[in-house]
Structure 1
Amino acid sequence: MRTVRNTVDTGRTVVCTIHQPSIDIFESFDELLLLKQGGQETYMGPLGHHSSNLIGYFEGIEGVSKIKDGYNPATWM
C-alpha cells in the first residue's frame, strides 16, 4: 500500500477494488465509492480522519447501529 500512496501523492488517481480490508489498509484511502448489489451507489465521498465522514453518514441513517469503539469500519458497513 505504500507504493499506492506514493503514486497518489504525485497527483495521480488510483482506483482499487478491495474486499474486507484491515482497518490500517482501509484508513489509508482518501475516498470511497461503495456499491451495493446491482451496482447502485451506497456511499461516495471522503472517509475522513479515522473514517469519521463515513461513520457519520451511516450512523445518520435511521435503524443503523452505532459502530463499536475500535471496530473496523469496513467490516461494520
Structure 2
Amino acid sequence: MLIDTSAAYADIQEYAEQRLCAAKALLFSLSCMGINRADAKDVNGIADAAYLLLEDASDLFNAARKAAEREGVQNA
C-alpha cells in the first residue's frame, strides 16, 4: 500500500479505522463460522484478508501519528 505522507491526519486516521473495522468484521464472521462447515480455503482466505487489512491499518495509524505531529494535533 502506498500512503500519501502529505495527506491530512484526519483522512489517514479515517482510512486506518475503515480497515480496522473491515478486519474486525471478517474475524467476527470467522468466529461465527462452524468449524465443521468451514472449508479450509475459506478460512485461509478470511485470515489472509484480515491480516492484510490489519497490516494496512497499522501502517496507516503510524502515518497518522506522524501527520498529527506535523500538524500539531494534540492527543492524537
Instruction: Provide the TM-score with structure 2 as the length reference.
Output: 0.21
Query: TM-score of the superposition, structure 1-length normalised?
Result: 0.21
Question: Which one has a larger percent strand, Structure 1 or Structure 2?
Answer: 1
**Higher RCO (C-alpha 8 Å, min separation 6):** 2
Between Structure 1 and Structure 2, whose CA radius of gyration is higher?
Answer: 2
